Structure 1
């Protein structure tokens, strides 16, 4: 009789049994939520090609990317919402890169403008849309007017919006027209060099962003 009293069938009202069952349920629910969260994706905007400040974004500049919901929060722009008209980027966005909300801004807020520069002579192959270049000016030298002036750097690390090589005005297979975004602080120097008697050159900047030029 004493042995039968000590060995009793556990009851559902037993506290330890209920606690153990609750832990099992929580583990199953937690695992389900973890798997569901890992497989959840959301649609965000990504660049279809290199994006450069000063260019107005449109549908052809973007593509939809599916990303893990847990990784983004409000950091990137949802592809379920269209970008406002007159929108550009604050800095270079490489091809295929997700479009961060902090990178996008109205064109009117950018401190600079896109300027077209005609370059006589060859341009380094690393210079492409989305890369960075330094802009230099050399006063034109004509015989006795040669004063030995050294080239002067006008802009450092200017983003390239577009480049057209082999511009005909410079002869077949020579010269290029490069559109670069120039900050407000250097804009007057560049415009003065374009209007004056200066020869402009561009040099690929060390921090150039690799991108598909589309040329």
Structure 2
């Protein structure tokens, strides 16, 4: 008569048992890592479109992004904060850029002013809100083209474009254009003097300048 074999107690040396323990440990470790990473992330605002200095900001122009900011989180605008009325951009903010606290404030904090200039020529291709341009001035003294080129001088460097476009052709202004710039306060007096002398203004786009 055959005798039933006794079942052996599993041993720590059983390979299948060890593999099972390792799999459970790996799953626990992975879960812990996910929880830890999630706890290290915060939800902040990023620009959904180009924002220019002086522009009033609303949440419609922003998007929420979850990012890992372990040390400098306080430098950015949390998506959980209340959005107050009258908040404006103090500097250009480009699409996808996280919103720094220092880039927002009240209109009284702007370190510059908006100024519109009518131009006698078309704007360079690609100039639009958020672009940066140089402004050159040339005296109208009846000199030849070569001399006028020598007399041209840089008035403003790397200023931000707020708006741009052509003038109404129905008024006989074909080829002319208009540009609105954010001019730093220290540069305003010289530009006002240039406009008062009715000098010819030229706009030069900066290579690689950010634009939407």
Pair in the same fold by TM > 0.5: yes
Supply the distance in 2 between the matched residues of 1:196 and 1:169 (Cα, whole angstroms): 27
Supply the distance in 1 between the matched residues of 2:92 and 2:161 (Cα, whole angstroms): 9
SS, match of residue 190 in structure 1: helix
TM-score in terms of structure 2 length: 0.72
Supply the distance in 1 between the matched residues of 2:139 and 2:93 (Cα, whole angstroms): 34
Tell me if 1:126 matches 2:129: no
CA deviations 1:15-46 (Å, max 9, x no partner) are: xxxxxxxxxx9987654332124356643222
CA deviations 1:89-128 (Å, max 9, x no partner) are: 3332112222122322322122111111111112111211
State the shift of 1:157 in Å.
Answer: 0.1
Structure 1 contact 38–68 (Cα < 8 Å) conserved: no
Supply the distance in 2 between the matched residues of 1:26 and 1:130 (Cα, whole angstroms): 52
CA deviations 1:157-180 (Å, max 9, x no partner) are: 001111122443874651221111
Supply the distance in 2 between the matched residues of 1:204 and 1:110 (Cα, whole angstroms): 24
How do residues 1-215 of structure 1 correspond to structure 2 at under 5 angstroms?
31-39=30-38, 42-60=42-60, 62-70=61-69, 73-142=73-142, 148=148, 150-168=151-169, 171=172, 173-211=174-212
Structure 1 contact 159–181 (Cα < 8 Å) conserved: yes
Supply the distance in 1 between the matched residues of 2:159 and 2:141 (Cα, whole angstroms): 26
Runs of at least 5 residues in structure 2 that lack an aligned partner in the other structure: 1-23
Q: What's the RMSD between the two structures over aligned residues?
A: 3.4
SS, match of residue 130 in structure 2: coil
TM-score in terms of structure 1 length: 0.72
The total of aligned residue pairs comes to 189
